[in-house]
Structure formats: structure tokens, C-alpha cells
Structure 1
Amino acid sequence: MDKQLYLGLKKVFEQNLDAVLITVTSVLGSTPRKPGAKMLVFADGMTVGTIGGGCGEAEAKREALNVLSTYDSKTYSLNMTADIAQEEGMVCGGIMELFMEYMGTHTPVEKADLNKDYLAVLESHNNPVLVTVIEAAEESWLGNKLVIKTNGDVAGDLGKKELNNIAFEKGKIGSRKCQPFLICLDFEFNPCESSTPKAAYRLLVEPPTTVVQLLILGAGHIAVPLATMAKILGYEVTVVDDRPSFANVNRFSTANKVLCADFERALETIDINPQTFVVIITRGHRYDKVCLKKVINYPAAYIGMIGSRKRVKSLLADLEEEGVAKEALQKLYSPIGLKIGAETPEEIAVSILSELIKVQRGIGE
């Protein structure tokens, strides 16, 4: 969650203020923000965060003020047609579905307490998954939440045991994803398409963060196109190498961070979490081994290493002899990348990114 939004929500709860939290739950067509984007609207009209600006955001703000007058959460379809967008100079004409959640003095105590607990868990960096009811047969269930912690503990209640069970199972998958997604169910709690006339229940599953980190260990020829393409796809890119002539901002102008340091020491300063993808493409077997041994026990979303099957097999055997658990080593993706016949550094970068996207989307699980 964005720091300013987090502070805004703390202010709501600590000062007992009225506000509406707007969350983009789904999009269709060209829209300025993607699912998971949030904006907090206070009773005095002040806002924190953004769902895209312009006329669309102004309309969402007006609807949020209406929610403040009724104290009832709701979903709202924001249709940003091309004609309206042109009036504000916006280059979008899609539809954003928004969940507008009332928070404040009329919120039931148990819901308010759960929201506070969720913020506390976020602050402690325990990477909780949040599941919110955004559509239900019982309107009173709207805004009900389930907080799923990394240790498997659960807090909250969605209103029905069946919903809690489904949310928990899907939430475990959500902890490995980096983007929010919807669970749509019929009256019998069976999965259904969101495009059906009326899903009985819809749940929004939000991972701990939507910031996807790509950690590239090794700044050689593949790393350059990989960092550039990854940035275009929205990854927050960090490149590490111990050679000043390779690890510098001139070669990696699009990267968020370039660290020129010993691999082992550099890795001690980097937060590797369930939203981190690690790509090991150093210049040699020795450095690959150092990096893999250092990162293999971290809860990364993905750890991949370049190299021939023979070389990788030998390296894994060495690490196992040194005490690294076989189960941990089995999560390594190697040879790295999807098989697309890649030959050039640019093509290999595409194959690696394709595999990252496949893992991120949970395809093949």
C-alpha cells in the first residue's frame, strides 16, 4: 500500500474521521489506473492517492461524498467514454469498476478493529493478503474482510463459512501474486464468470503489495535488455554486479537501483519478499553459487538461474552437500526462461520475462 494512503487510513482510525476508500476492482478498455489503485476521500473533500485524475476521478469523488451521506458501501461503474475523456484531455475511454467503502463513525466496531489490525500487520511487514466482499446476496456483508497472514493465521469474517473457506484457499495463491484479482461465485458458491448476469458473490483479493520487484544478479549482456524490458512491464528493477564497468547507471539508465558491490554483501541489504523475482545471470559458476546459496531460502516469488543442465545439476549437488535443503533447491527455475528458441541477449531476455509473467499469473499451477 502507498505510504501516503496508509498514513491517511491511520488518520481516519486514530482521529475517528469519516472517509471513503475507493479501490479499482476491475477495468475494461483503456483506463488511467489498474486494479488495486486506491484513493481516500475525506468528508471535507480532501483526497489522498489517485485513481487517475481528470473527469473520471472527479466523478468518483462526487459518488464517494454520496456514500458519506448514507454510510453504505457500494460498487460503482465509472464509464470514461471517449467524448468525456476528450473534454479533460484524457487519453482513455474505458470502464473502471470501483468499490467505495465507507469508513468512519458509523462503521461497526468489529469492522473498524479489523481494519486497524490489517494496517498493523502491514506495518510489521508480515505481508498479509486482504479479501473483501464487494458484492453479496446480503448487502450487510459488503466490506466484510478476511486478513490472511503469512503464518496461516486468519482474522475477520466474510459473512459465511463457505466464503471464508474459499477465500482462504484462493488467498494462499494471492500471496504469491502481485496484482489483485476477483473471485466470482454463484449462489451455490461455485466459480462463475464475472460477465454472468449477476454473480451472487464477488470477492476482491489483494496481495500485500502491487510493487513487483525484479532483482537481476549479474550485469552482463542479457541484463541490459532484461532491465529495460522489465521496466516497461512495470517491474521495480535492481541490478547487482561487482564490476564498476558493468554495474553503472550509464548502462542501466532505466533501472530503479544499480548496486556495484560484492554479491553476498549487496544481498544482505536487499529486501527479498513474496513480490520479488530473482534472476541469476552472473559471469560464472562461482558467482552463481554464491548468489543462489544466499537467496534460495528467501520467500521470493521466483528464483531463476541461467546455465546448462549439466552445470546447474553440478552446482545444486554442491549446495546440497554444503547443507542447503533439497526441497529449497527444487523451487529453482533452471534452465531459465521459456523455450522459444532464443539466441540473442534480447531474445533470451524475452524468454525470461515470459517465464516471470507465467509465474506471476499463476499459469500451470
Structure 2
Amino acid sequence: MRTIYEKVQQYVASGERVATATVVSTQGSTPREVGAKMVVRPSGDIVGTIGGGCGEAEVWQAAMDAIKDGQRCTVRIDLTEDVTLDTEMVCGGVMSVFVDVWDEREAEFLVAINKGFRDSKKMALATLLSPDQDRPRRLILPDGQAQGTLGEEDRDVWVTAQGLEALSQGVSRTVLDPREGPDIFIEVQVSPPTLIIAGGGHIAVPLAKMGVMLGFRVVVLDDRPQFANRERFPAADEVLAAPFGETLADYPLDDQTYVAIMTRGHAHDMECLLQVIDEPVAYIGMIGSRRRVRGVLDLVKERGYSEDLLARVNAPIGLDIGAQAPEEIALSVMAEVVKVRRGGTGRSLSD
């Protein structure tokens, strides 16, 4: 499980004061969504992005100032004034970015944040959007446990309920304090989706790299140790040298699981497909020619699986971008995975 707060904890533990810049509200077209975040270190180095361009540069400067004086602030970025040819900003909206400060005062709280996330796989963090030097925050876990305070007991009770609602919906939001206090940002963090790559062949290598780059927890599975090892997949979260069917049968699968089947033959494809086709996974894709995938699907159908279940399988896998090289095919696969995850159409934006 990875969150940007692991980086914040690491930097604070090494003695640094760092700033986080979080998009807390947007209007119109903006380069990043509510909840997007970057970390700024005293060196000026950044982790993450809130969209790049001159808007991010302005926030970066505010973050550097906050690191020096310990003062939180909100930066309003009006992108309607930045649609020019000499910047990267081509959006036309407005976004508010809250710059927060973290140092040794938050060391124990950061430990609680990261432990809570590892144990619960999701969390909400409520932050009072004010320059208050006490830096009020409250951590809310799915079971209702909470840690930290926004300054008043009644407010803490109210924001805990708001945090649980945000967790149930999986959406970060800014809420208005009913007692006319400062706005409160409730940031929802959930465990990253899992990409299971069944088959460690030549396409799996760039696919695993892209999966990690796009924020997936990547699992590579192959029954041949020479194709499933850390040397071949150094960035993957798990590399399993084990039988396909048995491993997938025992592996936890849910609606945040994406499965790419790209084994070396029909029999292994079918072995994998039979283990996932009726599971509540978000995506199933299977590589191969139309003839090959049709043969596998026909065999699965003979086992009694319905047309509705067969229709869940994206086969041949990927979007049609004319891919030929392994890296291009991997890009085609990840494009389809992202399309499913984000609800896109796959059409060219210029159409």
C-alpha cells in the first residue's frame, strides 16, 4: 500500500520540514482533480504534481515560503488568465490549493496515518483550512476510530461523521463547518487498484513498469521461475513463481482488481480465465489473435459459463493503436485498463 504520506513521514523522520499542496476545490476545466497533491521539500524538490505550468510554480513558491515560516495558506489559481502559448497551462478553470506544513510535531500523527491506512486499506483525513499554527487535523478510519482534533469536541464528532460518509462514497471534498468556522477538507485515501499480470513474457515487462507508473499495485504471476523473478520485475509489488490456476484461486479478487492474461498458451489462458471470469473484478483482458481467444472462450462456454460472463472478457486485449513492439502493446493494454478505470471512451480527444 502506497500513499504520499509515507514520503512525508520519511522526510520528517530525517529532520526536514516539508509542505504538502493539495487541490481542495475546482471550478471549470483544471489540470488535476480535487485531492491531487504534491510534496515540496526544503531543497525545492517535489514529489507528485497538481498540474504543472505556472500555476504549480506559484504554489511551489508558496510551499517554499511555508517551509521557512511554518505558516499554512491557501493559493487560488485562476487558469482562465493563463491560456497562452508559452506555458503548459491550457485549462480555463479555477482551483484552490491548500498548502500545509509538516515537521517533527506531526511525526507521531504521520505514523498513525500510515499505520491506519495499511491496516484498513482506506482512511479519511480532515484538515481545517485555516492558517492556524496548531495545524488542526483529524484522522478517520472506516470502523469509526479517529485520532487528532480540529479544536472542539462537537466539531470533531461532526467531522467524523462527514469523514465516514466521504469514505463510503470514496470522494474527497471540502465541507462547510455548520458553525460558520473555516472550511474543512476531507481527503479520502483508498488502497491502489491491483493489476494482476498472468504471464511473465516480453510484454509483461513494460506492462508492469507502466502499471506501477500509473499507480497500480502490480502483481506478476508465472509458473516458470525464470520468467517470474525480481531481476525481471524489480518494480512490481509481488512476483509469484507458482501455478496459474491454484494461485489465482487463492488470491483475493475484488472490484479494484484488473487482470491481464498473457500466458504462453491456450491451456494456461483458460486456466487463468476460469478462476477470474465469475469473480467481481473490474477488468479481464486476454492477449492473443482473434482465433486464439475465440478458441479459449468457446472452451469456457462449454463449461457452462454464460454469454454475459464471456462478454466481460476484453479479448483480444487492448485498444487499437496499431501496436507492434512489446512496449507499444503494453501501452495499448494499459490504455484500455485506464479507460475502464476512469470511464473513458477510448476515442481521440480531437474527434
TM range (shorter): 0.5 to 0.7
Offset at residue 157 of structure 1 (A): 3.7
Provide the C-alpha distance between the structure 1 equivalents of 2:85 and 2:128, rounded to a whole number of angstroms.
31
2:275 aligned with 1:290, yes or no?
A: yes
Q: State the match for 1:46 in structure 2.
A: 44
- Are the structure 2 counterparts of residues 183 and 21 from structure 1 closer, same or farther at C-alpha, using a change threshold of 3 Å? closer
Q: Structure 1 residues 66, 169: CA separation in 2 closer, same or farther (over 3 Å shift)? A: same
User: Does 2:184 align with 1:184?
Assistant: no
2:147 paired residue number: 155
The code of the aligned residue for 1:290 comes to: Q
Whether contact under 8 Å (2:70, 2:101) holds in the other structure is yes
Asked if residue 73 in structure 1 is aligned to residue 72 in structure 2, the reply is yes
Amino acid at match of 2:46: V
* Identity of matched residues, %: 18
- Is 1:277 the counterpart of 2:277? The answer is no
The answer for the alignment partner of 2:109 in structure 1 is 114
Letter in 2 for 1:93: C
Cα 1:96–1:281, aligned 2, differ >3 Å: closer, same or farther? same
The answer to whether the 8 Å contact 1:5/1:48 transfers is: no
Q: Whole-Å Cα distance in 1 between the matches of residues 181 and 254 of structure 2?
A: 31
Q: Which of 223, 245, 257 is 1:264 aligned to?
A: 245
Report how many aligned residue pairs link the two structures.
290
8 A Cα contact 2:195 2:257, kept in partner: yes
Q: Does 1:171 align with 2:167?
A: yes
Distance in 1 separating the partners of 2:199 and 2:46: 39
Gaps of 5+ in 1: 175-179, 189-197, 220-226, 244-255, 314-332, 359-365
Structure 1 CA distance for aligned equivalents of residues 198 and 185 of structure 2: 37
| Residues 1:207 and 2:189 are matched in the alignment | yes
Report deviation, 1:101: 0.9
Return the TM-score normalized by structure 2. 0.56
Structure 1 counterpart of 2:329: none
Report the Cα offset of residue 77 of structure 1: 1.7
TM-score, normalisation: structure 1: 0.55
Residue 88 of structure 2 aligns to a residue whose secondary structure is coil
Q: How does 1:1-365 map to 2 (within 5 A)?
A: 6-15=6-15, 17-27=16-26, 28-31=28-31, 33-42=32-41, 44-51=42-49, 52-68=51-67, 70-81=69-80, 83=82, 86-87=85-86, 89-94=87-92, 95-104=94-103, 107=105, 112-122=107-117, 124=118, 126-135=120-129, 143-148=136-141, 153-158=145-150, 159=152, 160=155, 161-174=157-170, 181-185=172-176, 187=178, 201-209=183-191, 211-215=192-196, 236=216, 262-264=243-245, 267=248, 276-279=256-259, 287-291=272-276, 302=282, 311-312=304-305, 334=309, 357=342
Partner amino acid, structure 2, of 1:162? W
**Contact 2:63 2:99 (C-alpha < 8 Å) held by counterparts:** yes
Over residues 279-302 of structure 1, what are the superposed CA-to-partner deviations in whole Å (9 max), with x where a residue is unaligned? 588978765443469xx5xxx874
* 1:312-350 C-alpha deviation (Å, 9 max, x unpaired): 47xxxxxxxxxxxxxxxxxxx957559xxx999889x99
Alignment partner, residue 289 of structure 2: none
3-state SS of 2:40 partner:
strand
Could you tell me whether the CA contact under 8 Å between 1:238 and 1:257 is conserved in 2? yes
CA deviations over 1:65-93 (Å, ceiling 9, x no partner):
33345534233222345647644x41433
Deviations for 1:157-199, whole angstroms, at most 9, x for unmatched residues?
Answer: 445211111212322442xxxxx521534627xxxxxxxxx99
2:233 alignment partner in structure 1: none
User: Structure 2: which 5+ residue stretches go unaligned?
Assistant: 201-206, 225-236, 286-296, 320-332, 344-351
Distance 1:147 1:47, change over 3 A: farther
Structure 2 residue matching 1:133: 3-state secondary structure: strand
Report the CA distance between 1:60 and its aligned residue: 1.0
Asked if 1 retains the 8 angstrom alpha-carbon contact of 2:23 and 2:34, the reply is: yes
